Amino acid sequence: MQVQRKIIDVRDTQVLLELPQSFVNHRVEVIALTVDDEPSAAVRRRRPSPAILGQGRTLGDLVGPIVDPEDWSEAP
């Protein structure tokens, strides 16, 4: 795969790209991104309601199953 990156000033709704000869007779993907925009603010992490603070419990091992494998077998 070959890559060509150009940063150009857009003055109209159309842009003319001149590609290298090696791109001829190949399919290409063109992606237009703005580079001068301010980056979006980081997404704030959501927190649970203080009303449920201290309500949860850890039962058993965090990695292992809490229920014995025999309990998942079908009854005879």
Query: In this structure, is residue 56 part of a structural domain?
Result: no
Query: Quick check: is 21 in a domain?
Result: yes
Task: Tell me if 41 is assigned to some domain.
Answer: no
How many CB atoms are closer than 10 A to CB 23?
Answer: 13
> What is the residue whose two structure tokens read 């077998």?
73
What pLDDT is stored for residue 44 in this prediction? 80
pTM above 0.85, yes or no: no
Per the structure, the complete domain to which residue 27 belongs is given by 1-35
Query: Which of 20, 15, 27, 16 lies closest to 4 in space, CA to CA?
Result: 20
The per-residue pLDDT for 24 is 92
Number of domains in the chain: 1
pLDDT score for 76 = 60
Q: Are 28 and 7 in contact (CB under 8 A)?
A: no
Q: Output the tens digit of pLDDT for each of the chain's 76 residues.
A: 888 888 888 888 988 888 889 999 999 998 888 887 666 667 788 888 999 988 888 877 788 777 888 887 766 6
